[in-house]
Amino acid sequence: MSLEEVPSSVEAIEAEAEKVLEKARTRATEIVLSAKGEADKILSSELPMAEVTVECEKIVHEAKEEAERMVEASARKASEIKTNARRKVDEISQRMVRIIVGENSK
């Protein structure tokens, strides 16, 4: 990999990490909207109101927890991608320095 290719590779990796996060955010929003839809459906049924409210809160709470878990997992994955990119850039930079100063590359 040449010196010119390194920044574009890092940018590509970071762009991929951002895509992963955006997908997680989108999915989290879909889950919450779905839970709200289910809650509305329950509210419109002819169940006793206390049971409906409890079930509604339970569904929304579970959906929010799942969405949070997905966003956290995606954030961890994005962080790993960025860390790996930085490590690769460091390795390439060190290799280039060794080549320039005439040391044998590994």
| Segment 22-50, tens digit of pLDDT | 888 898 888 888 888 888 887 777 767 77
Q: Is the pLDDT of residue 6 over 70?
A: no
Check whether 105 has a pLDDT greater than 60. no
Which of these ranges, 2-11, 19-28, 63-72, 91-100, has the smallest mean pLDDT? 2-11
Crossing angle between the packed helical segments 49-101 and 5-44, to the nearest 10 degrees: 180
Q: List Cα–Cα distances, 69 to 6, 31, 47, in angstroms.
A: 33, 12, 31
Task: Tell me: pLDDT of 13 over 70.
Answer: yes
Query: Amino acid letter at 8?
Result: S
98/33 Cα distance (integer angstroms): 55
